[in-house]
Amino acid sequence: MADRTDTPQPLSLEDMQRWTWVIGRAQQLMLEHGVEMAMKATETPAPPAFPTLMETTALSQAATDFWSDSLKLWQRFLMPAEPSAPSKDKRFAAPEWQQHPVFDLIRQTYLTIADHMLKSVDLVEGVDPVQKEKLRFATRAIVDAMSPSNFVLTNPEVMKRTLETGGENLLRGLEHLLRDLRQGQLTHVKEGAFELGRNLATTPGKVVKRAPLYELIQYSPTTDQVFETPLVIFPPWINRFYILDLTPEKSFIRWAVEQGLTVFMVSWKSADAAMKDVIWDDYVAAQIDAIDTIRDLLDVKAVHAIGYCVAGTTLAATLAVLAGRGEAEKVRSATFFTAQVDFEQAGELKNFVDDEQLKMLEGLAPEGFFDGRYMAATFNLLRGRDLIWNYVVSNYLLGNDYPAFDLLHWNGDTTNLPAKWHRAYLSDLYRDNKLVVPKAMTVLGVPLDLREVTTPTYVQAGREDHIAPAESVWKITDHFDGPVRFVLAGSGHIAGVVNPPAAGKYQYWTNAKPAASLDEFVAGATEIKGSWWPDWIDWLSARAPEKVPAEGARLPGEGKLAALEDAPGSYVRSR
């Protein structure tokens, strides 16, 4: 950038004339294209097999609106008034985006075009709502990718850094890019910053069982008395369990132990070729096996169970199987962290479950398991602006060092999935929504009927969850027949769950009155500042308040099951 001072210099007459011509010509081309499309729309209707634009009045109005907004930008560029207000968009946080007239124009032109591109999706008719949502998702991905912040010559911060470093930032960025290409995965965190057992997953405990699908970890008590009814946690097997045992100050497991719970964690095995025939029934059987193992080890009648995300969906099936067998009393209470059973409103992941994409997945799993890096890329796409392009700019263009952030380390620690199970999960649940149809699915020989589940249930949803939308999680309340406490937490799929009370962050909402919908729940809800964890432990302890001494089998390795190794175990380290 020629201007190296903090105060932008006025453009010369020659610069003004050049930029006026460039922007004017660009807008003329876009306008001519819009008029041409409008004329064609009025003269020749599109074939029925193709989506069409809505009536020409809407199209004409859209073209007029675009031209009007573009003209305002052009006038503002030619006759600048006050500088733009600081942008709330993190991509344009650098002051040059507002203070330098050219970059201000680039920014606002992009935002105008992006806005009209997204609005144009609503002008498409002749497609069903599912297809339109896919079109909207694809358009948003394109809009995010074309941001001027993503390119060297249109990002003032990158240009400034390049001049200051003599291009060293671009060389460092190239090194980062090549490393990511070699490993086949976008890097988000500094290499070597975290290590399991050293500064992640450090809650003391022992692996007390190793099965083909999972290891069972029992954590050491820190109180003299513990609740008689133990807690077993089923994390999603699409990620590592230590999302609930990050650094000590963030660890849900450590906090639960400190509340006097005997905590067990299931650590799932990352899939390999030996698991090519594993299906959903096997995961339900593993959950039941873990429940029975704990009941036998501690000589108790029941356990509390937590299911997070996909493991929560599976926990719902487990409860239905136990109910169908007449064994519902094995689970004293069930807690669901951002889990879905009804996938009618399952959000943007439904854009990846049509027949064509399911067929494509088969080609990505020739050995019978699905590489977790593909799943990580899918989740990154759901938040492309934050999890892809933000790091393209920071790491590839600016050449910044990677941060030491525990959550991002976990996010990149992928697990492989059994291909047969994964395809069936997407087709049977996300696509066909069979779980909520009574007896449409059979697991372990039991036709599933969620209406038979009467277990007391605590349901936590994230207000800003993009993976399991709150509206979708809410639907658990429509299908279970037992008492349900629903809590809406601030933030999303991860931060909404991993929110320790000491952090004093976010908030949650409760509503003691019956509600027929999430909107009705929110309308009558009470907002409470901070973490929802204390609300949960109060609810849980009320279900089973009895306590026993923390001795004997309550100490890992001191009961019927010998300690195999220290937590966090071996499966969490397997790749």
HEC readout, 376-391:
HHHHHHHCHHHHHHHH
- Residue 400 phi, psi (nearest 5): -70, 155
CA pair distance 73, 109, nearest whole angstrom: 7
CA pair distance 191, 194, nearest whole angstrom: 8
Instruction: Count how many Cα atoms sit within 13 Å of the Cα of residue 97 in the half-sphere of its side chain.
Output: 22
Name 504's Cβ contacts closer than 8 Å, sequence gap at least 6. Answer: 529, 530
CB 173 within 8 A of CB 155: no
Please, which contacts does 142-146 make with residues 24 or more away whose CB atoms are closer than 8 Å? 142/117, 143/114, 143/117, 143/118, 144/384, 144/385, 144/388, 144/389, 145/384, 145/389, 146/110, 146/114
Name 332's Cβ contacts closer than 8 Å, sequence gap at least 6. Answer: 229, 302, 303, 304, 455, 456, 543, 544
CA pair distance 118, 85, nearest whole angstrom: 24
CB 350 within 8 A of CB 430: yes
Please list the active-site residues.
309
- Detail the DSSP E strand segments found in 289-340: 303-308, 331-337
